[in-house]
Amino acid sequence: MGTERLLLVPDIDETETAVPEDPIDRPGVDRRVFIGMVAGGAGGAALVGVTAAAAWPSSAASESSSASASTTTMVMDSSGTTDMAGSGMSDADMNASSEAKVGQFLDNAASPITAGQGATELEWRTVNGVRVFELTCEEIEWEVIPGERVAAMGYNGIVPGPTLRVVEGEPVRVVVRNELTQSTSVHWHGQRVPNDQDGVPYITQPPILPGESYTYEFTPGPFGSHMYHSHHNATEQVGKGLLGALLVEPAERGSEPPYDKDELYILNDTLGGFTINGKGFPATAAYTAGLGDRLRFRFMNEGQMVHPIHLHGLTFEVFARDGYPLPQPFRCDTITVAPGERWDAIVVADNPGVWAFHCHILSHAERPDGMFGMVTALIVE
């Protein structure tokens, strides 16, 4: 990539840095380039070993058993001020902390800096032509940012739960085992299922009691980007992680635009604060693309607030909402994803560099000690 062109800050004397030297080569990603692109003006700041973990509002993340959104927001607001005096940090401290967190993010791109990865694709078995998945609901601990494990609820031990990939018109069965200490249910968000498979306790089924199992069966449709999640005590259960992606491939190829990579961007705003795919910056995964690649992003909001997701330097070509193809795709660079919505967009990676990719409600993304929460980057090499 054009590193000279992108190098916006003077060389930093890395012998003074408290961030560990790269254990692994990161082809094509130069930390100073990244800092120049994203953090800006960090040149010359001496690092003082401020870690992101130290700055995380752990009181909100781990104290409350319900980890309510309002509690999180209050803490975010109190620490999210841009008032330098109020933050108690000097300008140099803010720069050093910001730079250290970007370094952690780049470390994470090479080798995960937190335990656990959500939204991995779930294997299935085929029984008499039916695609059968198994989900177990469990109380777990989930590491949202380095060193902060929060009380969570996961399907198969991860947040978001495993991604279910199915095909429009081909029947599926999902066996759900409840190992929580409270009842639950699973709703197939966006699917036109038979009423008795819709997963709403006392409306379409009894709740799945602790220790019990429940089997759902339906034929997927419509195609597109959908979700599954708890529909019982959902503020707590979905907030703490009982959610996942349900990807329905169209029966007819050509029903969706072509793409080279299929990427999830699942938002939540309760467990551990503001997260993308179950992690907060700097533990969010970077997206990567080769020059000219077509990336499909599936934005999904499982949280309780709207999140306008902004991509620097590149363009969204939005082609579907809630799985339904738009009559006229449109271009934008900021897509507002409301709770429950899914938006599908193609990004043509035609502009090399490291591009910040974040929620543009700034208190969900940046504060005096640097970026946090709903921040990642798209790296075009």
Give contact residues for Cu ion (rule: CB under 5 A). 307, 359, 361, 364
CB 193 within 8 A of CB 220: no
Sign of the CA dihedral 27, 120, 373, 248? positive
| Minimum gap (Å) between residue 45 Cβ and Cu ion | 27
What DSSP assignment string belongs to 327-378? EEEEEESEEEE-TT-EEEEEEE--S-EEEEEEESSGGGTEETTEE-BSEEEE
Rounded distance between C-alpha atoms, residue 30 and residue 21, angstroms: 12
Instruction: Give CA torsion, residues 256, 261, 267, 271, to 10 deg.
Output: 140
| Minimum gap (Å) between residue 287 Cβ and Cu ion | 18
| Minimum gap (Å) between residue 376 Cβ and Cu ion | 13
Closer to Cu ion by Cβ: residue 368 or 373? 373
Closer to Cu ion by Cβ: residue 70 or 111? 70
Residue 345 C-alpha from the chain's centroid:
16
279 - beta bridge partners?
Answer: 276
| Minimum gap (Å) between residue 370 Cβ and Cu ion | 17
| Minimum gap (Å) between residue 86 Cβ and Cu ion | 22
CB 320 within 8 A of CB 225: yes
| Minimum gap (Å) between residue 288 Cβ and Cu ion | 23
Tokens linked to 366: 């940046």
Query: Alpha carbon of 241 to those of 90, 273, 303, 309: distances in Å?
Result: 36, 12, 10, 21
Tokens linked to 106: 């780049």
Closer to Cu ion by Cβ: residue 346 or 359? 359
Closer to Cu ion by Cβ: residue 82 or 111? 82
| Minimum gap (Å) between residue 364 Cβ and Cu ion | 3
Closer to Cu ion by Cβ: residue 204 or 304? 304
299 - beta bridge partners?
Answer: 265, 343
Closer to Cu ion by Cβ: residue 307 or 342? 307
CB-based closest residue to Cu ion: 359
CB 124 within 8 A of CB 132: yes
Amino acid at 76: M
Closer to Cu ion by Cβ: residue 131 or 364? 364
Closer to Cu ion by Cβ: residue 92 or 362? 362
| Minimum gap (Å) between residue 78 Cβ and Cu ion | 17
**Which helix (H) or strand (E) element contains residue 149?**
strand 148-155
CB 116 within 8 A of CB 158: yes
